[in-house]
């Protein structure tokens, strides 16, 4: 098989702050393109949202992660940047402390995630948003 690549956009609708699981969308894209092995790279095109690979079994994990980031980057802090609302600068800080890109190996046509791992978009703003993640797959 020859090495090839595909780039796709995945749109994720959020409901405000929190983690949105989009593992299925990534897995379906990999399967739909017929990749057997390779690497899937995800890139979040926003500065107030980020990406995480995290436990997908117990929803309390997501609750605790969200609460932790509320404590370390609270709204109402003494921030210079406040022109886009009180949740904007804390959102930028939270995104800076997490990741805007992830890489997941592909083997036998499947994402090589662990048993309890899921891929999440972490929305850091209060309002619902339409977020775009770029999926770049390289492989065979």
Consecutive 10-residue averages of pLDDT for the chain (140 residues): 93 98 98 96 98 97 97 94 94 98 98 98 98 98
Q: Are 134 and 100 in contact (CB under 8 A)?
A: no
Q: Walk me through the domains of the chain, giving residue ranges and CATH numbers.
A: 4-139 (2.60.120.460)
Q: How many CA atoms lie within 13 A of 89 on its CB side?
A: 12
**Of 93, 64, 86, 1, which is closest to residue 38 (Cα–Cα)?**
1
pLDDT of residue 82: 87
Residues recorded for the chain = 140
pLDDT of residue 25: 98
Tens of pLDDT along 17-36? 999 999 999 999 999 999 99
pLDDT of residue 40: 98
């Amino acid at each position: 098989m020859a090495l090839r690549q595909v780039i796709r956009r995945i749109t994720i609708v959020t409901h405000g702050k929190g983690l949105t699981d989009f593992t299925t969308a990534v897995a379906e894209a990999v399967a739909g393109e017929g990749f057997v092995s390779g690497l899937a790279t995800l890139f979040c095109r926003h500065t107030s949202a980020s990406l995480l690979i995290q436990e997908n079994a117990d929803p309390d994990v997501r609750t605790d992660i969200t609460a932790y980031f509320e404590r370390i980057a609270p709204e109402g802090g003494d921030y210079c940047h406040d022109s886009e609302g009180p949740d904007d600068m804390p959102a930028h800080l939270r995104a800076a402390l997490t990741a805007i890109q992830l890489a997941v190996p592909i083997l036998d046509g499947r994402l090589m995630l662990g048993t309890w791992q899921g891929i999440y978009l972490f929305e850091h703003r209060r309002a619902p948003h339409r977020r775009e993640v770029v999926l770049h797959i390289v492989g065979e």
